[in-house]
């Protein structure tokens, strides 16, 4: 006997709401709703035993009806170790099991599935209801309850389905299911949260940042190929108003909120820029899984494919964490500092692909990170030739300046600081109001996560406390802001350094409060922000004009000069493939298909991705969307025959509910083929976003192809 189809979706991870655990079960015919379904009950990595060698561990159970496996691993000095395990079964007479996909997309037609199980030795007559409440920027929307009557024999299980059209303009749907025995006492209720993503995301088409020292007048026009607006969320004009630059600018905030990729650098940049302390603390709790035996951090958790950390990433993470005042766990920080010191002194070697020699810039970046923690020594400076200052990229000149600013016992410190500052002055160039560097074309060392945008921001941070640059700093900040495109800078590192630079500059130089009102008008429509009720600013939103074009006017009445970020938003579907360094071809074949050529629930498909790379690049991601409810198949008979061609192998593969992603530490020029296998677990009509390849630290090199709607029969 073989398994035709299977799904693990009976264990949906819902919103954490531990307050519900204190609600008394039953009473007055009410339901104790089950909603905590984490597959991990507890993880306690450090349990100390008492003098008798015993320990008591509290394991909190959640709402899942399943068998829990409990495993303990003991380790002590002297090569003493051991392991033991046991299990706990949790059951009840009447059971509801969710088959709802954890993520859907706007406009999907999907079958919402529940499994109803009678665990008793008697028959039951049941009433079952399923209702949902959708919420998002467009407000709340109730999906009406639909009741069913079901007869279940003793020990029988039955699957129930509801056809659902996912509404547009929502971010989540909270589903609540209830089952009640008619004429009996058996009952069950469960709640689960379903994430909703757009198939065609709303993107920033154009953006501008101005200080309201005079009225702003901008001609605007709705994009002709944008999707029809479904409320403001589907597009329009968003005017972000802030009294200072210290608060994250709307364009930077949107950039990080919508950023999809998940390496250690990208997660840390996102959490620091958004001031997301809980997320940062969670990442720090996992930091040990990224650290190799030499103390260096890798971009993804270590595995048999990724065994070594990177000096570049380690120096960057330690530098931004110190600049932002974010602590790293003491154990991991100490090992990382030792690893960087060994790298600088030549006791540790890390080879990586690069288009030109970069040993010295990498050592200087490591020294700059060490200096932030008081760990750089004059002896280590002897590994660097300071007279090569003129040949270094500008980002390395900034590192050299930071190193000597923080290292008070550095030899010839004053002259080295002056030389670095003079070198920066000689490379600055202002084309209009935009800050540029004279050697910008050869200065973007993207394989070290660098860019001219990041260098501009880091230069501001290095010079903001220097009295000799006080008169120049406002011009540097305005020039760096002018480098933004569509409200943000080039990549994750540039946006993080930029956010930190703006916060530090604002804390030093911006003090005048804003008073009065700021008004935005577009034709006959107008909105206003009252600074007396919102002293920290806010957002004003206007829909696209009915005529398709008009003039936006933003005025400030009152004291102060707030900053206004105007963003033109729209959901524009991709109609033809795009190629800017990468050409992509996507094909699907059947591994098992019940009723060819139609797809049915339970079928297995093979996805083949062909990527043609125009040049060698480091850290490239290939992202392919998954149909709603589908799951990537691994290590089964269905995966036999998967092929991989070319000279590259992914350093890390991410399998989420929304996409399959392969991350390449190095993707050489030429053709590369990857295949993976997917099982279709839900029936419906599913929207699919685009398939995209992108150089993460040089995102102007990308390829993108549209995907057709996928229909899956029951």
Fold of 208-242+514-572: Jelly Rolls (2.60.120)
- CATH code: domain 7-197 is 2.60.40.10
> CB-based contacts of 462: which residues, under 8 Å, 6+ apart?
398, 401, 402, 405
Of 12-16, 41-45, 434-438, 623-627, the poorest mean pLDDT is in 12-16
Q: How confident is the model at residue 26 (pLDDT cuts 50, 70, 90)?
A: very low
Evaluate if residue 479 carries a pLDDT over 60: yes
Q: How confident is the model at residue 495 (pLDDT cuts 50, 70, 90)?
A: very high
Average pLDDT taken over every residue of the chain = 89
The pLDDT score that the predictor gives to residue 233 is 44
Share of the chain above pLDDT 70, in %: 94
In total, the chain counts a number of residues equal to 714
Handedness of CA 655, 39, 279, 403 (dihedral sign): negative
Angle between helices 473-481 and 452-463 (to 10 degrees): 160
pTM of the model: 0.87
Give CA–CA dist 270/324, Å, rounded: 12
Q: pLDDT, tens digit, for every residue of 508-544?
A: 888 778 999 999 999 889 999 999 999 888 999 998 8
The encoded tokens of residue 231 equal: 């409320």
Q: pLDDT, tens digit, for every residue of 74-127?
A: 988 888 899 999 999 999 999 999 999 999 999 999 999 999 999 999 999 999
Q: Residue 694: beta bridge partners?
A: 621, 702
Share of the chain above pLDDT 90, in %: 67
* 228-254: burial string, b at 16+ Cβ within 10 Å, e else: ebeebbbbbbbbbbbbbbbbbbbbbbb
Q: 7-197 and 578-713 share one CATH topology?
A: yes
Q: pLDDT, tens digit, for every residue of 327-377?
A: 999 999 999 999 999 999 999 999 989 999 999 999 999 999 999 999 999
The answer to whether the CB of 493 falls within 8 A of the CB of 449 is yes
Domain ranges in the chain are 7-197, 208-242+514-572, 264-352, 578-713
Which CATH number is 578-713's, of 3.40.50.300, 3.40.1280.10, 2.160.10.10, 2.60.40.690?
2.60.40.690
A 10 A CB-CB count for 61 gives: 12
């Amino acid at each position: 006997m073989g398994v035709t189809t299977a799904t693990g979706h009976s264990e949906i991870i819902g919103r954490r709401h531990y307050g519900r655990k204190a609600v008394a079960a039953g009473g007055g015919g009410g339901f104790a709703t089950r909603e905590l379904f984490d597959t991990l009950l507890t993880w306690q990595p450090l349990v100390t035993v008492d003098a008798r060698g015993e320990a008591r561990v509290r394991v909190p159970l959640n709402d899942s009806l399943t068998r829990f496996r409990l495993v303990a691993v003991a380790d002590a000095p002297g090569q003493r170790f051991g392991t033991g395990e046991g299990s706990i079964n949790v059951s009840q007479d009447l059971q509801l099991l969710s088959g709802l996909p954890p993520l859907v997309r706007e406009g999907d037609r999907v079958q919402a599935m529940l499994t109803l199980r009678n665990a008793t030795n008697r028959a039951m007559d049941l009433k079952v209801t399923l209702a949902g409440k959708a919420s998002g920027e467009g407000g709340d929307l109730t999906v009406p309850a639909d009741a069913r009557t079901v007869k279940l024999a003793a020990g029988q299980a039955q699957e129930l389905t509801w056809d659902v059209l996912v509404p547009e303009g929502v971010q989540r749907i909270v589903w609540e299911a209830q089952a009640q025995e008619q004429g009996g006492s058996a009952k069950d209720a469960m709640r689960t949260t379903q994430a909703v993503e757009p198939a065609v995301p709303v993107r920033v088409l154009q953006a501008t940042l101005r200080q309201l020292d005079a009225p702003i007048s901008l001609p605007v026009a709705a994009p002709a190929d944008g999707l029809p607006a479904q409320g403001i969320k589907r597009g329009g004009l968003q005017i972000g108003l802030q009294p200072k630059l210290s608060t994250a600018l709307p364009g930077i905030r949107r950039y990080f909120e919508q950023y999809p990729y998940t390496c250690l650098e990208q997660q840390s940049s996102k959490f620091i820029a958004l001031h997301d302390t809980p997320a940062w603390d969670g990442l720090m709790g996992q930091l040990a899984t990224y650290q190799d035996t030499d103390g260096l951090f890798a971009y993804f958790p270590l595995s048999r494919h990724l065994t070594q950390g990177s000096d570049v990433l380690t120096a960057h993470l330690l530098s931004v964490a110190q600049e932002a005042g974010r602590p790293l766990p003491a154990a991991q920080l100490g090992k990382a500092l030792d690893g960087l010191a060994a790298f600088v002194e030549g006791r540790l070697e890390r080879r990586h692909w690069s288009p030109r020699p970069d040993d010295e810039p990498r050592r200087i970046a490591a020294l700059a990170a060490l200096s932030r923690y008081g760990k750089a020594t004059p002896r280590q400076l002897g590994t660097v030739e300071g007279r090569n200052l003129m040949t270094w990229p500008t980002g390395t000149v900034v590192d050299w300046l930071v190193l000597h600013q923080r290292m008070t016992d550095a030899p010839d410190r004053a002259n080295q600081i002056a030389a670095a500052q003079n070198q920066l002055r000689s490379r600055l160039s202002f084309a209009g109001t935009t800050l540029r560097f004279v050697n910008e074309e050869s200065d973007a060392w993207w394989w070290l996560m660098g860019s001219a945008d990041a260098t501009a921001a880091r230069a501001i941070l290095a010079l903001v406390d220097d009295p000799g640059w006080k008169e120049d700093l406002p011009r540097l900040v305005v020039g760096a802001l002018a480098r933004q495109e569509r409200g943000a800078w080039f990549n994750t590192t540039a946006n993080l350094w930029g956010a930190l630079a703006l916060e530090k500059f604002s804390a030093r130089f911006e003090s005048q409060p804003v008073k009065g009102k700021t008004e935005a008008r577009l034709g006959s429509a107008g909105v206003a922000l009252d600074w007396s009720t919102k002293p920290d600013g806010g957002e004003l939103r206007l829909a696209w004009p009915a005529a398709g074009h008009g003039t936006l006017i933003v005025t400030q009445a009152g004291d102060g000069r707030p900053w206004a970020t105007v963003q033109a938003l729209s959901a524009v579907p991709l109609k033809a493939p795009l190629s800017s360094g990468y050409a992509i071809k996507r094909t699907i074949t059947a591994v098992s298909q019940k009723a060819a050529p139609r797809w049915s629930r339970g079928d297995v498909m093979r996805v083949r991705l062909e990527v043609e790379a125009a040049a060698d690049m480091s850290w490239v991601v290939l992202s392919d969307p998954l149909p709603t409810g589908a799951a990537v198949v691994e290590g089964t008979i269905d995966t036999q025959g998967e092929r991989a061609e070319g000279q590259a192998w992914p350093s890390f593969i991410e399998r989420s509910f929304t996409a399959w992603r392969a991350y390449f530490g190095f993707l050489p020029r030429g053709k590369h083929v990857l295949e993976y296998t997917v099982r279709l677990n839900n029936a419906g009509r599913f929207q699919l976003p685009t398939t995209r390849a992108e150089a993460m630290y040089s995102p102007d090199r990308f390829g993108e192809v549209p995907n057709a709607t996928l229909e899956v029969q029951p």
